[in-house]
């Protein structure tokens, strides 16, 4: 019993959310419903394909499940959706995602995997030429870092 | 005749024999002080001639007096605390004793001490025997002050390793003193105005000049002139001149030839040297593409030089550049372009110093600026990083690359790059970005403003695109600009001229334009700024890991929602959002929410405004929220100001959303005059609260973020 409690504490402290997102303050965020669909996170490419589709249908819970901050979480909350919105959907980041998707569709990208990290380099053209999207593998599933 | 002389001698002898009897003979003059001219010998090169020093005695009433004694003087090496030489000089019945020193070979700080023989009355004259290097030296825009307010600043960063600071020319504003050991300034200014002065910073055997400009505003800041516009043409008649020169690029040591187009008021009309802006084109642009903007800037009396530099990255009118710089390592290409900017500065300054050149005495080497567009803006970031060595006064970045976008520039940089620090070096800066930029697609201005150290203005031009900065290229694909090219360029010129007037001409009237909230509620631009005012009360920059407290140690709390302190932009891409810049991001879960930050009964009465920058994450502006800000003082008295009312929206502080295509999802600066908070004791502020109410519970997409909560 004690051992199980310690394991739970360890998992809590070591959870990806703790590693990547500031500890929220204020009221506990309300829980949110999951998407009716689930991303295929088996490869970087399958994750990205599903992510682009979810962006188009504004499926925020789905997008939240594409981000490593939700890895291992049994349920998602409003802060998960808020982070997903800022990462994938808010207007200011939309043009970059569109360019990345266009490069993905055209095959103008390379994926470099280093153990549990992946860097997907997209040739997006223009002055930027390219941009790199960073992914993280957690328990054999890929997430956007 | 002989009889008369005998009478005089007899009388004199009589006086002597009765001296001190108070019988009508004058008492010997009693010195009260000794004054040396010059009072400071300044910096003199080793072995060079040293001006003579004249010592004059004064009585207690401030009158010059003639002494019959001697002046004893001592030359002391302050580095070793050893006496170098001594001497005596007779006043010889004249009011002044003059000391002539031989040239000194040993570099050190010295002191000449004069003492009236037989008294304790003395005075010291500083002397530095040092080699002056790096003239005219870096420029420092010192923090601005306000009459009567506490002032503190330091210029130590300008010459790392300096051990002694001294005034070379000009005057430090009244009420402010220099700490010669640290390069720090402190005090409380007493007179409004701008002071320019030069310091010498000693490091070893060398003295580096540091040019300083320090603006002091009146308590009511009456210097600000609201509503100025530089969109109408300025008074100068402008012509253009072509130039071509060969140079060795400081970045990669290769030599090549490049062209300049110089925009300038007619040369005959330039009666005193003018400020210079060197501007670098973007990739895919020709250096001749910026005619409109550069001509209009020049109409306000500035000289602009547009740099061709076809080596750094592609230009449609030039031979193809190296693939390495153009696409393999675009970061290195931009640093190469920074080297071209440097060469253009040097070229123009050299021409101004060349007898018989058309630009002889036309360019002020003390007022140099660098700017650029797109990758030319990235080059400007590189030059910004090298501002101290380039001796520039400011930078203007247009739809520009942040070089830290590239991991290769992150210290320790990957060769051939040099380190690009996370923070922008302290220098006046103006950045102009396009809301609909579909070339550089990351919202860079919002990332920039949290990283500046000098006075900076970051402008997002709503509806603008990348390519409309130039005169030729069509709007980039996917950008969908909703303003015209000429409107975009009007806005750019407006800010660029204001910026140059502020930092080239030290014109205080545009302070409000650049740093004073004149653009709050604007439907044309989102403006953020870091004014660089001394002694603000910074409540929270939201950078601290302990988000439960602010910088003053007071508690932060949030009810009716959750909050995090992190970047509002994703860290998933490159360095995007991963530079450690954090904001206070509020997500709401009720129809009313309160963010409260506690102050330890803080005295903010010397300040004039409450400021913060904020943004929201929807594409439909702020009309989903009502925001009131409440200040509570130590006795519990409160005062509330409405910032935005969804039921009765106005543009007093935040833009009012009136429909697509305007969005208002970028940071904007809000400042509320403290006079609006009536009835609270501003010498004891206990808390600031942001009170949100909504017609319905906001969704996850409706987030509000803020930063840099402060009183100024």
Of A15-19, B368-372, B387-391, B586-590, the one with minimum mean pLDDT is: A15-19
Q: Is the dihedral of CA B453, B456, B461, B464 positive or negative?
A: negative
Q: Is B39 exposed, middle or buried (0-12, 13-18, 19+ CB in 10 A)?
A: exposed
Cis? peptide before B412, omega within 30° of 0: yes
Structure-model confidence comparison of residues B24 and B168, the more confident one: B168
- A10 falls in which pLDDT band (50, 70, 90)? very low
Between CA B402 and CA B1 the distance in angstroms is 95
Quick check: is B58 in a domain? yes
Q: Tally the domains of chain B.
A: 4
Sheet holding A141-144, edge to edge: A109-114, A117-125, A129-138, A141-144
pLDDT at B679: 95
The answer to whether residues B337 and B440 belong to one domain is: yes
- Across the interface, whether the CB atoms of A24 and B562 are under 8 A apart is answered yes
pLDDT at B21: 40
Instruction: Extract long-range pairs of A53-58: CB within 8 Å, 24+ residues apart.
Output: A54/A88, A55/A88, A55/A89, A55/A97, A55/A101, A58/A89
Burial B184-223 (b: 16+ CB within 10 A, else e): ebbbbbeebbbbebbbbbbeeebbbbbbbbbbbbeeebeb
pLDDT at B577: 56
The answer to whether residues B413 and B546 belong to one domain is: no
Of A127-131, B327-331, B357-361, B547-551, the one with minimum mean pLDDT is: A127-131
- Across the interface, whether the CB atoms of A91 and B561 are under 8 A apart is answered no
Between CA B164 and CA B178 the distance in angstroms is 11
Contact B226, B243 (CB under 8 A): no
pLDDT digits (tens, 9 = 90+) for B51-68: 999 999 999 999 999 888
Between CA B174 and CA B179 the distance in angstroms is 15
- B546 falls in which pLDDT band (50, 70, 90)? low
- Across the interface, whether the CB atoms of A95 and B700 are under 8 A apart is answered no
The answer to whether residues B116 and B182 belong to one domain is: no
Tokens standing for A143? Answer: 């997430």
pLDDT at B576: 60
Contact A143, A73 (CB under 8 A): no
Phi, psi angles (nearest 5°) of residue B633 = -95, 180
The answer to whether residues B113 and B151 belong to one domain is: no
The answer to whether residues B209 and B243 belong to one domain is: no
- B710 falls in which pLDDT band (50, 70, 90)? very high
Between CA B56 and CA B63 the distance in angstroms is 10
- Cβ within 8 Å of residue B685, ≥6 positions away: B599, B601, B602, B603, B604, B631, B632, B633, B634
pLDDT at B443: 62
Contact B661, B703 (CB under 8 A): no
Between CA A48 and CA A91 the distance in angstroms is 19
Kindly calculate the radius of gyration of chain A based on its CA atoms and give it in whole angstroms. Answer: 16
Quick check: is B225 in a domain? no
- Provide the β-strand partners of residue B669: B613
- A127 falls in which pLDDT band (50, 70, 90)? confident
End of a domain among B129, B151, B184? B129
User: What is the value of pTM for the model shown?
Assistant: 0.92
Mean of the pLDDT values across residues A115-144? 93
- Residue B67 CA, chain-centre distance (Å), reads 51
- Across the interface, whether the CB atoms of B476 and A126 are under 8 A apart is answered yes
* pLDDT at B541 > cutoff 80: yes
Cα dist from A46 to A38, A41, A42, A141, whole Å: 12, 6, 7, 11
pLDDT at B544: 75
Q: Label the pairing between strands B122-129 and B43-44.
A: parallel
Cβ neighbours of B619 in A, within 8 Å: 91
pLDDT at B26: 66
Give the CATH number, domain containing residue B152.
2.60.40.10
- A36 falls in which pLDDT band (50, 70, 90)? very high
Phi, psi angles (nearest 5°) of residue B375 = -65, -25
- Across the interface, whether the CB atoms of A90 and B443 are under 8 A apart is answered no
**Which candidate in B325, B570, B661 is best for mutational testing of the A interface (most A CBs within 10 A)?**
B570
Between CA A102 and CA A122 the distance in angstroms is 9
* pLDDT at B568 > cutoff 90: no
The mean pLDDT of chain B is 93
Between CA B601 and CA B688 the distance in angstroms is 11
Mean of the pLDDT values across residues B280-296? 97
Give the structural domain span for B261: 238-530
- Across the interface, whether the CB atoms of A29 and B665 are under 8 A apart is answered no
Between CA B514 and CA B530 the distance in angstroms is 9
pLDDT digits (tens, 9 = 90+) for B641-696: 999 999 999 999 999 999 999 999 999 999 999 999 999 999 999 999 999 999 99
pLDDT at B92: 77
Contact B286, B317 (CB under 8 A): yes
- A2 falls in which pLDDT band (50, 70, 90)? very low
Q: Which residue, among B393, B390, B498, has the nearest Cα to B454 in the 3D structure?
A: B393
Q: Is A89 exposed, middle or buried (0-12, 13-18, 19+ CB in 10 A)?
A: buried
* pLDDT at B425 > cutoff 80: yes
Which letter does DSSP use for residue B338 in this model?
H
Cβ neighbours of A87 in B, within 8 Å: 570, 572
Quick check: is B21 in a domain? no
- B535 falls in which pLDDT band (50, 70, 90)? confident
Q: Is A13 exposed, middle or buried (0-12, 13-18, 19+ CB in 10 A)?
A: exposed
- Cβ within 8 Å of residue B5, ≥6 positions away: none
- Cβ within 8 Å of residue B114, ≥6 positions away: B34, B36, B53, B55, B71, B72, B73, B97, B99, B122, B123, B125
Q: Is B674 exposed, middle or buried (0-12, 13-18, 19+ CB in 10 A)?
A: buried
pLDDT at A4: 42
The answer to whether residues B623 and B507 belong to one domain is: no
Per-residue 3-state assignment (H helix, E strand, C coil) for B505-533: CCCHHHHHHHHCCCCCCCCCEEEEEECCE
- Across the interface, whether the CB atoms of B665 and A133 are under 8 A apart is answered no
Mean of the pLDDT values across residues B482-505? 98
The answer to whether residues B37 and B66 belong to one domain is: yes
The answer to whether residues B191 and B247 belong to one domain is: no
Between CA B617 and CA A37 the distance in angstroms is 25
Of B70-79, B403-412, B615-624, the one with minimum mean pLDDT is: B403-412
**Which candidate in A92, A104, A134 is best for mutational testing of the B interface (most B CBs within 10 A)?**
A92
Quick check: is B232 in a domain? no
The answer to whether residues B201 and B261 belong to one domain is: no
Contact B508, B147 (CB under 8 A): no
- B259 falls in which pLDDT band (50, 70, 90)? very high
Between CA B76 and CA B96 the distance in angstroms is 22
Between CA B514 and CA B501 the distance in angstroms is 11
pLDDT at B214: 98
pLDDT digits (tens, 9 = 90+) for B444-469: 656 678 889 999 999 999 999 999 99
Contact B629, B706 (CB under 8 A): no
Helix, strand, coil in percent for chain B, rounding step 5? 15, 35, 50
pLDDT at B15: 38
Cβ neighbours of A123 in B, within 8 Å: none
DSSP E strand stretches across B319-414: 363-373, 394-398
The answer to whether residues B417 and B499 belong to one domain is: yes
Percent of chain B with pLDDT over 90: 87
Contact B83, B41 (CB under 8 A): no
Around Cβ B638, how many Cβ atoms within 10 Å?
Answer: 14
The answer to whether residues B46 and B73 belong to one domain is: yes
Burial B2-28 (b: 16+ CB within 10 A, else e): eeeeeeeeeeeeeeeeeeeeeeeeeee
In the block, tokens 């105005």 appear at: B193
Around Cβ B173, how many Cβ atoms within 10 Å?
Answer: 23
Percent of chain B with pLDDT over 70: 95
The answer to whether residues B413 and B437 belong to one domain is: yes
Between CA B67 and CA B119 the distance in angstroms is 12
User: Which member of B439, B569, B570 has the closest CB to residue A126?
Assistant: B439
Element (H, E) at B2: helix B2-17
Contact B648, B628 (CB under 8 A): no
The interface pTM score, or ipTM, of the predicted complex is 0.87
Q: Label the pairing between strands B274-280 and A109-114.
A: unpaired
End of a domain among B481, B500, B530? B530
Tokens standing for B389? Answer: 């060595």
Structure-model confidence comparison of residues A5 and B301, the more confident one: B301
Quick check: is B22 in a domain? no
* Side-chain-facing half-sphere of B19: CA atoms under 13 Å: 6
User: Which member of A26, A87, A92 has the closest CB to residue B558?
Assistant: A26
Quick check: is B507 in a domain? yes
End of a domain among B530, B547, B571? B530
Per-residue 3-state assignment (H helix, E strand, C coil) for chain A: CHHHHHHHHHHHHCCHHHHHCCCCEECCCCEECCCCCCCCCCCHHHHHHHHHHHHHCCCHHHHHCCEHHHCCCCCEEHHHHHHHHHHHHCHHHHHHHHHHHHHHHCCCEEEEEECCEEEEEEEEECCCEEEEEEEEEECCEEEEC
- Cβ within 8 Å of residue B662, ≥6 positions away: B462, B463, B482, B523, B621, B655
Cβ neighbours of B330 in A, within 8 Å: 127, 129
Chain B (299-328) residues lying within 8 Å, Cβ to Cβ, of chain A: 327
């Amino acid at each position: 019993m004690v051992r199980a409690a310690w394991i739970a504490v360890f998992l809590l402290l070591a959870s990806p959310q703790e590693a990547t997102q500031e500890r929220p303050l204020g009221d506990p965020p309300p829980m949110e419903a999951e998407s009716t669909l689930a991303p295929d996170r088996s490869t970087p490419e399958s994750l990205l394909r599903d992510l682009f589709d979810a962006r188009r249908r504004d499926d925020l819970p789905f997008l939240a499940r594409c981000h490593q901050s939700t890895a291992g979480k049994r349920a998602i909350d409003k802060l998960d959706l808020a982070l997903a919105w800022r990462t994938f959907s808010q207007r200011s980041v939309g043009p970059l995602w569109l360019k990345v998707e266009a490069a993905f569709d055209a095959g103008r990208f390379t994926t470099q995997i280093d153990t549990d990290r992946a860097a997907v380099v997209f040739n997006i053209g223009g002055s930027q030429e390219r941009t790199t999207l960073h992914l993280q593998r957690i328990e054999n599933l890929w997430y956007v870092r | 005749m002989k009889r008369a002389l005998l009478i005089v001698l007899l009388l004199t002898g009589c006086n002597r024999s009765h001296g001190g009897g108070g019988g009508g003979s004058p008492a010997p003059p009693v010195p009260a002080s000794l004054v040396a001219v010059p009072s400071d010998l300044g910096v003199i090169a080793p072995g060079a001639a040293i001006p003579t020093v004249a010592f004059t005695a004064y009585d207690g009433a401030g009158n010059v007096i003639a002494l019959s004694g001697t002046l004893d003087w001592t030359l002391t090496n302050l580095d070793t605390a050893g006496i170098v030489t001594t001497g005596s000089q007779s006043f010889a019945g004249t009011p002044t004793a003059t000391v002539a020193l031989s040239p000194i070979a040993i570099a050190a700080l010295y002191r000449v001490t004069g003492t009236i023989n037989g008294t304790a009355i003395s005075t010291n004259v500083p002397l530095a025997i040092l080699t002056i290097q790096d003239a005219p030296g870096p420029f420092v825009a010192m923090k601005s002050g306000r009459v009567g307010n506490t002032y503190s600043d330091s210029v130590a960063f300008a010459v790392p390793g300096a051990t002694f600071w001294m005034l070379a020319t000009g005057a430090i504003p009244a009420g402010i003193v220099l700490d010669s050991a640290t390069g720090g300034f402190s005090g409380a200014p007493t007179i409004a105005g701008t002071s320019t002065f030069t310091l010498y910073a000693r490091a070893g055997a060398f003295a580096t000049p540091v040019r300083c400009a320090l603006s002091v505003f009146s308590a009511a800041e009456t210097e600000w002139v609201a509503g100025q516009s530089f969109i109408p043409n300025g008074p100068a008649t402008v012509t253009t001149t072509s130039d071509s020169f060969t140079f060795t690029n400081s970045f990669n040591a290769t030599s090549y030839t490049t062209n300049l187009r110089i925009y300038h008021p007619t040369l005959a009309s330039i009666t005193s040297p003018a400020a210079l802006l060197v501007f670098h084109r973007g990739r895919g642009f020709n250096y001749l593409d910026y005619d409109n903007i550069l001509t209009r800037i020049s109409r306000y009396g500035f000289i602009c030089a547009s740099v061709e530099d076809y080596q750094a990255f592609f230009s449609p009118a030039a031979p193809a550049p190296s693939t390495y710089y153009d696409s393999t390592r675009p970061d290195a290409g931009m640093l190469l372009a920074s080297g071209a900017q440097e060469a253009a500065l040097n070229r123009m300054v050299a021409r101004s110093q060349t007898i018989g050149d058309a630009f002889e005495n036309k360019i002020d080497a003390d007022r140099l600026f660098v700017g650029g567009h797109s990758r030319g803006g990235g080059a400007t970031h590189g030059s910004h990083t090298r501002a101290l060595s380039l001796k520039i006064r400011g930078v203007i970045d247009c739809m520009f690359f942040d070089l830290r976008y590239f991991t290769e520039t992150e210290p320790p940089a990957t060769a051939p790059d040099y380190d690009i620090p996370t923070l922008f070096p302290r220098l006046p800066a103006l950045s102009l970005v396009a809301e609909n930029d579909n070339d550089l697609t990351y919202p860079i201005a919002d990332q920039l403003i949290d990283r500046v150290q000098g006075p900076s203005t970051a402008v997002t031009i709503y509806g603008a695109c990348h390519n409309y900065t130039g005169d030729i290229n069509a709007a980039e694909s996917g950008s969908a600009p909703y303003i015209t090219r000429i409107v975009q360029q009007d806005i750019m010129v407006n800010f660029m001229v204001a910026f140059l007037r502020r930092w080239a001409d030290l014109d205080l009237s545009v302070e409000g334009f650049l740093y004073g909230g004149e653009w709050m509620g604007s439907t044309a631009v989102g403006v953020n700024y870091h004014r660089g005012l001394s002694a603000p009360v910074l409540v929270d920059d939201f950078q601290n890991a302990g988000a439960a407290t602010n910088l003053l140690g007071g508690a932060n709390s949030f009810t009716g929602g959750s909050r995090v302190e992190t970047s509002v932009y994703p860290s998933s891409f490159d360095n995007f959002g991963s530079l450690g810049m954090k904001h206070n991001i509020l997500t709401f879960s009720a129809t009313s929410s309160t963010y409260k930050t506690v102050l330890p009964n803080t005295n903010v009465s010397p300040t004039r405004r409450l400021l913060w920058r904020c943004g929201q994450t929807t594409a439909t502006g702020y009309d989903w929220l009502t925001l009131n800000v409440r200040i509570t003082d130590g006795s519990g008295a409160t005062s509330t100001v409405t910032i935005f009312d969804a039921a009765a929206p106005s543009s007093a502080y935040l833009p009012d959303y009136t429909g697509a295509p305007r969005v208002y999802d970028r940071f904007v600066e809000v400042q509320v005059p403290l006079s609006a908070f009536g009835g609270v004791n501003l010498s004891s502020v206990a808390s600031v609260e942001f009170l949100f109410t909504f017609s319905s519970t906001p969704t996850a997409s409706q987030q509000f973020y803020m930063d840099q909560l402060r009183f100024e």
